[in-house]
Amino acid sequence: MKLKRVKSTILGVAAGAVLLLGTGATAARAAEPCGDFGECKALIEINATDGDIGFHFLMDGDDLNSAGISDPLGAKVFEDQAKGPLREQKLTETFAESAEPLCWQDPDDPEEEVVTLEEFLARWVAGTYIFTGMGDGGEKSVGETELTHEIPAAPANVAFDGSVISWAEGNDLGKCASQAELNDLVLADVLQVHPEVVPVVSWEIVLEPDVEDGDPTGNLVFSIRVSGNIEPKQVTVPADYLASLPANTPVKIEVGAIGVNDNATFTEVGGFCVNGGCED
């Protein structure tokens, strides 16, 4: 089960910790302004632990009946049309993410679809993505943003001592590509920049109770973004938040490296416990 990451306000570096109630997903720090749109962004997100990869986008316009995105080759990759009461209400912000196929062959699930990193990058070419929208009177909105293949390396050595989450910079993309595989992709010009040298603008840290679906404790999520140059690489989880969790709560932690163009790579680690020692 994936960790819950919040889209709504994480459009920049967080000023402090927030206690999050509910589910969501990580969004890009939007490009503002984006032509006629207030903001727009396209990015690549990798879960290095699970070994999956996806395309995410965000656009925000005013009173739209329809919206769409075209890739640098001119191919339409997304189209949205408001109908019925939604057409009367209008569209504004639209955030979506693709399915996230595995980028490695899981021996326990040989029938699972696999899209390798190389195949994914060929599918989602780097360059200018055009965002378009149409209003009631035929008013057209146009904006553009850049998708790059500069993907930061997965965070390494994620740890939690009961109050402090720590991590280190990594040098690969986990199950999606080892350092040796990345070296080959760079030599073949599939990747122009090796992930280990892609600057990290911010780190996103999420702690989530690892409980059964339907357990309300699972909605108590701690999430924060901090500067990419933070030293040491650690954050202290607020004591008030930890105290709000029941005794012996198992938790899992995710740390994400967010690049300059919002491409992101996340590492997930479970098996931690707060407010006591969890029993098997």
The pLDDT of residue 11 is above 50:
no
Determine the average pLDDT of the residues in 223-249. Answer: 96
For residue 21, being part of any structural domain is answered with: no
- Domain boundary (99, 129, 147) is at 147
Q: Where in the sequence is the domain holding 109, given as residue range(s)?
A: 30-147
Same-domain pairing of 177 and 126: no
pLDDT in tens, 196-225: 999 999 999 999 999 998 999 999 999 999
Same-domain pairing of 215 and 259: yes
Cα angle 228, 230, 234 (rounded to 5 degrees) comes to: 110
For residue 39, being part of any structural domain is answered with: yes
Same-domain pairing of 216 and 131: no
For residue 221, being part of any structural domain is answered with: yes
Same-domain pairing of 137 and 175: no
Model confidence band, residue 33 (pLDDT cutoffs 50, 70, 90): confident
CB 115 within 8 A of CB 130: no
Lowest mean pLDDT among 37-46, 50-59, 102-111: 102-111
- C-alpha 121/C-alpha 146 separation (Å) is 14
Return the higher-pLDDT residue of 280 and 77: 77
- C-alpha 205/C-alpha 196 separation (Å) is 19
Q: What is the structure's pLDDT at 91?
A: 87
Same-domain pairing of 161 and 270: yes
CB 41 within 8 A of CB 145: yes
Q: What is the structure's pLDDT at 277?
A: 80
Q: What does pLDDT average to over the chain?
A: 88
- C-alpha 153/C-alpha 171 separation (Å) is 5
Residue 193's domain is classified under what CATH number?
2.60.40.10
Same-domain pairing of 136 and 183: no
For residue 234, being part of any structural domain is answered with: yes
For residue 239, being part of any structural domain is answered with: yes
For residue 20, being part of any structural domain is answered with: no
Number of domains in the chain: 2
- C-alpha 96/C-alpha 90 separation (Å) is 17
Kindly tell me the sign of the dihedral angle through the C-alpha atoms of 125, 126, 127, 129.
positive
Q: What is the structure's pLDDT at 8?
A: 31
Determine the average pLDDT of the residues in 42-57. Answer: 97
- Domain boundary (111, 130, 147) is at 147
Strands 264-274, 39-47: pairing kind: parallel
Q: What is the structure's pLDDT at 26?
A: 42
Same-domain pairing of 225 and 166: yes
- Domain boundary (147, 178, 196) is at 147
Write the CB contacts of 141 (distance below 8 Å, at least 6 apart in sequence). Answer: 35, 36, 37, 61, 62, 64, 131, 132, 133, 134, 135
Q: What is the structure's pLDDT at 159?
A: 97
